[in-house]
């Protein structure tokens, strides 16, 4: 599809001014607001949990795109749905019963997404792709903002696009990690639909202008 969305990650926001930063996103061309949940187990970092997600929900006028980088996400799907998530994305590598997890996400009323780490091939999604609303291709190893974009991601976007077309899936392709003006246009051309951007947006002198630049790259 020609869908081109930007989902700025509040991981790079100023948490002392979170309301201000979310209001900036409300006024910008951002489509979704990306919420990165890290548990110190699935990834070697801890970000934030329910209280911050609830603040985001309270102030945001845009859908919350919640990315769970946590082990045993099944334990918390309902709580994140109740906290106001519009989409819930789990990591393939954290889900031994992924089909069931995806059904539970859908039953909660959220858009169901599955993220794959840089080492996981797109082919692992062959038997779940028709159930998904979103495939998140990680373009860095998850855990930290501000890392370098992995170039093999372009090949994975092409693989994901082929799989989606072959199986007639409606899934959107989202890319997360190291997205900036050097790769945004190429990612959209390769078939990506949603770009997550953390540091490139919040480190810019005008974050909302950077969101527009990425969106029209």
Taking the least distance from each CB to ligand DX5, the nearer of 64 and 179 is: 179
Q: Which of 21, 31, 39, 176 is catalytic?
A: 176
Q: How far is CA 162 from CA 59, 136, 185, 190, 196, in A?
A: 38, 15, 19, 11, 21
Q: Which residue is nearest to ligand DX5 (CB)?
A: 198
Question: Is position 9 annotated in a ligand binding site?
Answer: yes
Residue 87 assigned as binding residue: no
Q: Is 51 exposed, middle or buried (0-12, 13-18, 19+ CB in 10 A)?
A: exposed
Q: Is 176 a catalytic residue?
A: yes
Q: How far apart are CA 112 and CA 132, in angstroms?
A: 6
Inter-residue contact 40 to 209 (CB < 8 Å): no
Candidate residues 179, 187, 190, 210; the one interacting with ligand DX5 per rule CB under 6 A: 179
Measured at the CA of 147, the angle between CA 171 and CA 178, to 5 degrees, comes to 40
- Would you say 41 or 162 has its CB closer to ligand DX5? 41
Residue 83 contacts residue 54 (beta carbons within 8 Å):
yes
**Residues in 27-46 that interact with Zn ion by CB under 5 A:** 36
The single residue among 87, 178, 191, 207 that binds ligand DX5, judged by CB under 6 A, is: 178
For Zn ion, the closer of residues 36 and 93 by Cβ is 36
Cα–Cα distance for residue pair 207/199, rounded to 1 Å: 10
Say whether 16 counts as a known binding-site residue.
no
- Catalogue the active-site residues: 36, 176
**Would you tell me which residues interact with ligand DX5 (CB under 6 A)?**
9, 11-12, 34, 36, 67, 140, 142-147, 176-179, 196-200
**Would you tell me which residues interact with Zn ion (CB under 5 A)?**
36, 67, 176
């Amino acid at each position: 599809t020609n869908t081109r969305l930007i989902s700025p990650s509040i991981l790079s926001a100023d948490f002392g001014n979170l309301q201000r930063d979310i209001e900036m996103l409300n006024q910008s061309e951002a489509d979704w607001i990306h919420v990165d949940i890290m548990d110190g187990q699935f990834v070697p970092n801890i970000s934030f949990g329910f209280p911050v997600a609830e603040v985001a929900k309270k102030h945001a006028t845009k859908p919350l795109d919640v990315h769970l980088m946590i082990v045993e996400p099944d334990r918390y799907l309902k709580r994140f749905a109740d906290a106001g998530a519009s989409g819930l994305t789990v990591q393939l590598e954290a889900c031994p019963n992924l089909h069931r997890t995806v059904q539970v996400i859908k039953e909660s009323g959220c858009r169901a997404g599955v993220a794959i780490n840089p080492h996981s091939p797109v082919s692992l999604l062959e038997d779940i792709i028709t159930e998904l609303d979103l495939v998140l291709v990680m373009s860095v190893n998850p855990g930290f903002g501000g890392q370098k974009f992995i170039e093999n991601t372009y090949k994975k976007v092409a693989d994901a696009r082929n799989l989606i077309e072959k199986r007639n899936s409606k899934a959107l392709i989202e890319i997360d990690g190291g997205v900036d003006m050097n790769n945004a246009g190429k990612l959209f051309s390769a078939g990506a639909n949603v770009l997550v951007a953390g540091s490139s947006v919040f480190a810019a002198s005008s974050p909302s202008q950077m969101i527009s630049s990425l969106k029209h790259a």
